Amino acid sequence: MDHCLSWRDGFRKIALSSRWIEKRRRDQFYKLAKEKGYRSRASFKLLQVNRSYRFIKHGLNVVDLGAAPGGWLQIAREAVGESGFVLGVDKQEIKPLSWRNVVTIVADIEDPALPNLILEKMPDRVDVVLSDVSPNLTGSWEIDHARQVYLANQSLEFARHVLREGGAFFAKAFHGPDLQDFRSNLKRSFQTVRIVKPPASRSDSSEIYFLGLNYIGERQLSLSSEEQSERAISQDDPATGL
């Protein structure tokens, strides 16, 4: 018996099995989204993280950046109920949802006038800012990572203008060397920062999510020795990203 061939066949079967399991998992969330009337399988990413951290609650005011097609708007509305308010922002028009307290506008997060525009439309100060904003992917990992982190930072800057004290921020980013600085930016504004990858996110995807809890405004932070070591490692090995 050719042991080399046997090993290769076994490895190939494992690889095929892993891909099959991953495809089934993706199909599962796609089918669930259809069954529940969600506009996107990405709805489950927000749903899963909110079940763990409960940062979107009944009666809160939520802004969703990059909200098209509206899957996160649906999850946010389910969480805030009748007494809350959800506003979606995207560069493309979003098909209206049936709830009276869910409003959408066409706007660009890079517009410096956006925070004031949003505050004029909100019934009160914003409790939660969500950002699922993504760049048009080029296929170049370095470019796509840099652009995604740039948009995440733009979303964070927006959040700093509209969030109430104690508010929360949840945003998507891609793995890579720029994430260390983004996390440091978050720590200057939030008492607690978590990095999460919900089960609905594909295991082979580079996307991860940052959750900032208890907004405290701007503050200056000095890096701990542990953080300095982490930064040195990430700079030496860009693949770590963190």
Question: Among the options 13, 36, 172, 197, which is catalytic?
Answer: 172
Structural domain count of the chain: 2
- pLDDT above 90 coverage of the chain, percent: 62
| Domain housing 21 | 1-36
Residue 172 is among the residues annotated as catalytic for this protein: yes
In a domain, 242, yes or no: no
Residue 205 belongs to a domain:
yes
**pLDDT single digits (tens) 98-119:** 999 999 999 999 999 999 999 9
58 has a pLDDT exceeding 50 = yes
> Which is it for the CA torsion 103, 108, 110, 112, positive or negative?
negative
Q: Give yes or no for a contact between 63 and 32, defined as CB atoms under 8 angstroms apart.
A: no
**Residue 241 falls inside a structural domain:** no
State pLDDT tens for residues 139-171: 888 898 899 999 999 999 999 999 999 999 999
Between strands 85-90 and 61-65, the pairing is parallel
- Token reading at 14: 């494992």
Q: How far does Cα 27 stand from its chain's mean position?
A: 21
Same domain membership, residue 64 and residue 125: yes
In this prediction, residue 45 has a pLDDT band, given cuts at 50, 70 and 90, of very high
28, 44: one domain: no
Entry pTM: 0.79
Residue 103 maps to a domain? yes
